[in-house]
């Protein structure tokens, strides 16, 4: 496979190749070939330091920071210690100027800031690699809002760097065993889809509306409401929700807080998102969850979301239930059904590792239980043994891992297994009812109508073929002659056995009838029948033994 090298991408090529040579594991590649291909002259020392990897990603900027956040979901690629380091990946950068904010907002909304907003804070509340958030008040409704503005040229920079990263990934796919096993090109394609969604603030506004509708029954969970008239691709205006980050709660707040009820409500809300709605907030890290003044939880930043197909929902429910119950064999079976076998798939090793993971965890203390970590370990075991897992599973594992941290912060005694067991029956009932909705019944009735309407014609075709002796039945079976021969031997032996039984019974009955013809002091005809039955029985036994010995020799 030929990979063209573009001069405008040389700096990014070099950054990606250096990262790979320095931190790549099990790469099985000629480093000189990679260095020569992408213009690396200096010698690169291999590193196993996860913190150094995170520092390198932060130094390289927004695209690589976001790539690191995606890699933190890939337990099949990243060792557990590195996953922990990537969780601490910082996305806080220097804010861009208010003059640029002013220009972007007015250009995107088509109105002067002073006309749209009664007030607009020049100092941002937070700044990240792709954008920053300012506090403001809408002029028409006097509502306090948070305005998220995309960093200037963020989209262009990301797309340019992504193109270069994709070319290096394609090179690894074509020239390394690592590439053939883990398909970095596919990972980069997934990353491209994810980050382009994050860069489209109109899509994030739709996500806020959708999640708000799905969780409207959860009174303890708040989703900020977007103001669509003040949103665009690069500007997102949403309800401002004052609160405190979960990780910054003081001891006094914990005293007045019903942490157990909040943790339970949050966990059940995410179970419903994944297993019922098939649409979930995929990045619930502590910075994206606030505790409001009235002790509710606000979910922020819906740029990263996960979508679960209907076919996967039931399997995920079965997997989580099996894990919660410590049923290692069932968990192994469900995980294997979720995945797709590759050429090097080792089913026995995969089953053994998954069972071991579940069994080891089931004996843990409540404080050590992390269902998210377990799901990531299961996906890692699958990948290591040649079972390809859907991308949704990695997002799910990462989401659950963040959820474990938040739930333990709210309630150190929170038991995720018990929560899953409490909600699994209700979720299963709702899944069943959803499958009997009007839409599904319409599809079912349509299929039945098609079957009924086509059945007469199919029956006519069948009887026409039957009457003209053109009906053919194709059956893949074993050797018919051998099968019939076997049946014939069985029938012959049964018939012979019945005849011998009749001779014995007849002889026994004749024993009671007086006769002038005597042998050995008994009625002669009865003795003859007994002798005939005995001789016949010996012949039958001999035949059976002889044929069985002969058959064994033939098999050898």
Residue-wise pLDDT tens digits, 225-252: 999 999 999 999 999 999 888 877 776 6
* CA gap 268, 248 in Å, rounded: 23
**Which pLDDT value is given to residue 438?**
47
Tell me what percent of the chain is helix, strand and coil, each rounded to the nearest 5. Answer: 65, 10, 25
Look at 222 and 442; give whichever has higher pLDDT.
222
- Quick one: pLDDT band at residue 461, thresholds 50, 70, 90? confident
Backbone φ and ψ of 326, nearest 5°: 70, 20
The 10s digit of each residue's pLDDT in 388-421 is 888 788 778 878 888 888 888 888 888 887 888 8
* CA gap 351, 512 in Å, rounded: 69
Measure Cα distances from 372 to 81, 264, 362 in Å: 15, 16, 14
**Which pLDDT value is given to residue 440?**
55
Q: Does the pLDDT of residue 139 top 50, yes or no?
A: yes
* CA gap 7, 23 in Å, rounded: 25
**Which pLDDT value is given to residue 26?**
46
Q: What is the DSSP letter of 224?
A: P
Q: Does the pLDDT of residue 481 top 70, yes or no?
A: no
**Which pLDDT value is given to residue 8?**
54
Look at 435 and 414; give whichever has higher pLDDT.
414
The 10s digit of each residue's pLDDT in 91-115 is 667 899 999 999 999 999 999 999 9
* CA gap 341, 337 in Å, rounded: 9
- Quick one: pLDDT band at residue 192, thresholds 50, 70, 90? confident
Give the angle subtended at the CA of 111 by the CAs of 109 and 117, to the nearest 5°: 90
Most confident of 30-34, 52-56, 481-485, 549-553: 52-56
Backbone φ and ψ of 430, nearest 5°: -70, -40
Which residues neighbour 525 within 8 Å (Cβ) at sequence distance 6 or greater?
Answer: 510, 515, 517
Measure Cα distances from 496 to 77, 489, 504, 526, 551 in Å: 69, 11, 12, 19, 21
**How buried is residue 8: exposed, middle or buried, by Cβ count under 10 Å (0-12/13-18/19+)?**
exposed
Whether 410 and 266 have beta carbons less than 8 Å apart is answered as yes
- Lookup result for tokens 């099968």: 483
Instruction: Flag the least confident range among 76-80, 145-149, 325-329, 436-440.
Output: 436-440
What's the chain's average pLDDT? Answer: 79
Tokens of 273: 């998102």
CA neighbor of 301 nearest in space, from 399, 440, 208, 428: 208
Catalytically annotated residue among 15, 220, 283, 411: 283
* CA gap 522, 510 in Å, rounded: 10
* CA gap 395, 69 in Å, rounded: 11
Q: Does the pLDDT of residue 40 top 60, yes or no?
A: no
Which residues neighbour 429 within 8 Å (Cβ) at sequence distance 6 or greater?
Answer: none
Mean pLDDT of 324-333: 86
* CA gap 298, 296 in Å, rounded: 7
- Quick one: pLDDT band at residue 214, thresholds 50, 70, 90? very high
E strands in 165-296: 221-222, 235-239, 243-245, 279-281, 289-292
Look at 480 and 140; give whichever has higher pLDDT.
140
Mean pLDDT of 499-513: 75
- Return the percentage of the chain with pLDDT > 70, whole number: 77
What number of CA atoms fall less than 13 Å from residue 151's CA on the CB side? 21
Residue/partner pairs of 162-167 with CB below 8 Å, 24 or more apart: 162/63, 162/188, 162/191, 162/192, 162/195, 163/6, 163/9, 164/6, 164/9, 164/12, 164/13, 164/16, 165/12, 165/16, 165/63, 165/67, 166/192, 167/3, 167/4, 167/5, 167/6, 167/9, 167/13
Q: Does the pLDDT of residue 345 top 80, yes or no?
A: yes
Mean pLDDT of 5-13: 62
* CA gap 134, 449 in Å, rounded: 57
- Which contiguous run of DSSP H or E holds residue 340? strand 340-341
Query: Residue 217: how many CB atoms within 10 A of its CB?
Result: 8
Query: Residue 136: how many CB atoms within 10 A of its CB?
Result: 22
Look at 19 and 270; give whichever has higher pLDDT.
270
* CA gap 434, 428 in Å, rounded: 10
- Return the percentage of the chain with pLDDT > 90, whole number: 19
The yes-or-no answer on residue 294 being catalytic is no
* CA gap 188, 192 in Å, rounded: 6
Mean pLDDT of 417-443: 69
- Lookup result for tokens 């002029």: 139
Whether 415 and 368 have beta carbons less than 8 Å apart is answered as no
Burial 143-177 (b: 16+ CB within 10 A, else e): eebbbbbbbbebbebbebbbebbbbbbbbbbebbe
| Residues found in the chain | 556
What end-to-end distance do the CA atoms of the chain give, in Å? Answer: 50
The 10s digit of each residue's pLDDT in 58-84 is 788 778 887 887 777 676 677 767 777
Q: Does the pLDDT of residue 489 top 80, yes or no?
A: no
Three-state SS at 238: strand
* CA gap 215, 273 in Å, rounded: 8
Can you give the C-alpha Rg of the chain in angstroms? 36
Q: Does the pLDDT of residue 449 top 60, yes or no?
A: no
Pairing of strands 235-239, 144-150: antiparallel
* CA gap 75, 359 in Å, rounded: 19
């Amino acid at each position: 496979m030929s990979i063209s090298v573009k001069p405008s991408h040389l700096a990014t090529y070099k950054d990606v190749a250096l990262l790979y040579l320095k931190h790549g594991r099990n790469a099985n590649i000629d480093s000189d070939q990679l260095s020569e291909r992408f213009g690396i002259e200096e010698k690169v020392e291999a590193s196993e330091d996860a913190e150094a990897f995170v520092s390198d990603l932060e130094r390289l900027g927004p695209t690589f920071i976001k790539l690191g956040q995606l890699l933190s979901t890939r337990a099949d690629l990243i060792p557990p210690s590195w996953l922990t380091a990537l969780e601490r990946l910082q996305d806080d950068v220097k804010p861009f100027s208010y003059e640029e904010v002013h220009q972007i907002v007015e250009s995107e909304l088509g109105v002067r800031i002073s006309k749209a907003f009664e007030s607009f804070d020049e100092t941002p509340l937070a700044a990240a690699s792709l954008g920053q958030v300012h506090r403001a008040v809408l002029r028409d409704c006097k509502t306090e809002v948070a305005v998220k503005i995309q960093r200037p040229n963020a989209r262009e920079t990301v797309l340019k760097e992504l193109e270069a990263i994709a070319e290096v990934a394609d090179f690894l796919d074509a020239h390394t065993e690592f590439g053939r096993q883990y398909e970095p090109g596919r990972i980069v394609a997934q990353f491209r889809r994810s980050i382009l969604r994050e860069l489209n603030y109109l899509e994030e506004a739709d996500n806020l509306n959708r999640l708000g509708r799905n969780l409207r029954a959860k009174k303890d969970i708040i989703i900020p409401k977007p103001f669509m008239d003040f949103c665009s691709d690069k500007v997102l205006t949403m309800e401002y929700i004052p609160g405190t980050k979960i990780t910054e709660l003081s001891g006094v707040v914990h005293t007045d807080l019903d942490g157990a009820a909040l943790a339970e409500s949050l966990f059940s809300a995410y179970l419903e998102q994944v297993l019922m709605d098939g649409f979930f907030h995929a990045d619930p890290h502590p910075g994206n969850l606030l505790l409001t003044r009235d002790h509710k939880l606000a979910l922020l930043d819906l740029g990263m979301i996960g979508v679960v197909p209907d076919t996967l929902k039931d399997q995920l429910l079965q997997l989580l239930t099996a894990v919660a119950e410590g049923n290692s064999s069932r968990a192994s079976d469900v995980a294997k059904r979720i995945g797709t076998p590759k050429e090097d798939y080792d089913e026995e090793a995969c089953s053994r590792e998954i069972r071991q993971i579940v069994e080891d965890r089931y004996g843990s203390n409540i404080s050590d239980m992390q269902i998210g970590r377990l799901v990531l370990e299961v996906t890692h075991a699958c990948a290591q043994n040649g079972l390809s897992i859907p991308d949704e599973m990695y997002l799910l594992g990462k989401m659950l891992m963040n959820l474990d941290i938040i739930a333990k912060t709210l309630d150190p005694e929170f038991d995720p297994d018990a929560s899953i067991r409490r909600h699994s029956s209700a979720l299963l009932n709702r899944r069943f009812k959803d499958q009997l909705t009007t839409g599904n019944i319409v599809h079912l009735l349509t299929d039945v109508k098609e079957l009924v309407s086509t059945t007469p014609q199919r029956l006519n075709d069948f009887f026409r073929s039957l009457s003209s002796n053109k009906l053919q039945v194709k059956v893949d079976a074993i050797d018919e002659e051998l099968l019939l021969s076997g049946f014939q031997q069985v029938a012959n032996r049964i018939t012979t056995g019945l005849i011998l039984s009749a001779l014995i019974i007849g002889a026994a009955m004749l024993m009671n009838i007086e006769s002038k013809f005597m042998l050995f002091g008994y009625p002669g005809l009865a003795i003859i029948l007994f002798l005939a039955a005995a001789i016949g029985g010996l012949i039958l036994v001999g035949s059976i033994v002889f044929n069985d010995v002969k058959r064994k020799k033939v098999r050898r």
